[in-house]
Chain A
Amino acid sequence: MKLTKDNSLPILDELIANSGAMTAVLVTKEGYNMVSAGDVSYLNTTALAALVAGMFSATRAVATMVGEKQFSILLQQGKTRNIHISLINDSIMMVIVFENHQRIGKVRMEAQKAGDAMIAILAAPEPGEEKRPDLAAPEFKEYALALVDMIFSAKKA
């Protein structure tokens, strides 16, 4: 099954409640923010997703250079805030922001638990095909093209 906002948000909410972390965000390797939990009022999650994905790709390249396939956990320690990033699978990362560094053990344990729960979802068989809108339909593309023309109008930038 795919990870969606509906099936991953309860897991992130539980992680926040149990670990005392501020924020948890799922990010794709292409740099998109899939879902966020906790306090995000202080955070530009769109930019965070792009940056974390770049950082993780770079770290993977470094891992290869030293003979590892990848480093599965990254920890960034600051004065008041810290970031724990872990790989859920090849294409999804979980970013946890927390304040009290002494809670690192708890954060790590809850991250592991949440990661396991998400892996279980990913391993579950896909339920019957749900009806999804056809985004590649000609009328959808027509609207999208009209929007592109309107937003990027040829006036001098």
Chain B
Amino acid sequence: MPYINYSDRELAFKIVYFGPGMGGKTTNLIRVFGSLKENARSEMVTLDTAGERTLFFDFLPLELGKVGGFSLRFNLFTVPGQIQYEASRKLILDGADGVVFVADSQPHMLEKNVESFQGMLGNLREHGKDLKTFPLVLQYNKRDVSGALEVGCLEREVALERQIPVFEAVATQGTGVMETIREVARIIVRQFSV
């Protein structure tokens, strides 16, 4: 459910970037942050980073502008990808209006992608989301590695029962990043009901 504040005329949606550790979730946020004009973005908050790993979450609030007198906002979060932070991931997914799953295309990462994707589906189910319709976009990141995983392999491995939008990305170069967020934002807006 989005957050609606009628007295301040504000409508805010929550997008969570999910995926295995070191897969490029934070890099996606940094690229989105870097590509937006200053009036659309607030400060990006990164918490407790050990080396290049996110330990709790990253947070990037975006204000897109006004629609019908309401400020339209998207708040982006990342989850920590490492297996041991299951509890944090579940907390952060609470109240999500849409999810971007950032898969790591390195050939040895298939199992970790599958494990993370199944964890995400389980968490969403526990939060009462309808997995047939919940806004979900899949990004195959790191497409520049040699022997990259075949696009479509993850959906096949987890036997995903629905079609979801898929994007190929090299987040470190900014390729595919904006296409991904635009698509998840579009689905969220289209499905939104009061």
Contacts and interface: CB of A to CB of B under 8 A. Distances in A.
Interface residues on B, range: 35 or more
Given A54-B92, A148-B182, A133 B68 contact: yes
B42 A47 contact: yes
Contacts of A151: 36, 40, 62, 64-65
A152 B194 contact: no
Interface stretch (B27-35, B111-119, B130-138, B151-159): B27-35
B69 A133 contact: yes
Chain B contact surface mostly: mixed
Contacts of A155: 35, 178
Contact of A147 (B57, B67, B193): B67
A152 B65 contact: no
Interface of A: 4-6, 28-32, 34-35, 44, 46-47, 50-51, 54, 57-58, 61, 132-136, 139-141, 143-145, 147-149, 151-157
The 4 closest A-B pairs by CB, nearest first: A157-B174, A152-B182, A30-B95, A157-B31
6 contacts: A31-B14, A51-B47, A151-B36, A151-B65, A152-B182, A155-B35
Interface of B: 3-8, 11-12, 14, 31-32, 34-36, 40, 42-43, 45, 47, 56-57, 59, 61-62, 64-65, 67-70, 72, 75, 77, 87-88, 91-92, 94-95, 173-175, 177-179, 181-182, 185-186, 189-190, 192-194
Given A50-B75, A54-B92, A154-B179, 11 more contacts: A5-B7, A47-B45, A54-B91, A58-B87, A136-B193, A152-B182, A152-B185, A155-B35, A156-B35, A156-B174, A157-B31
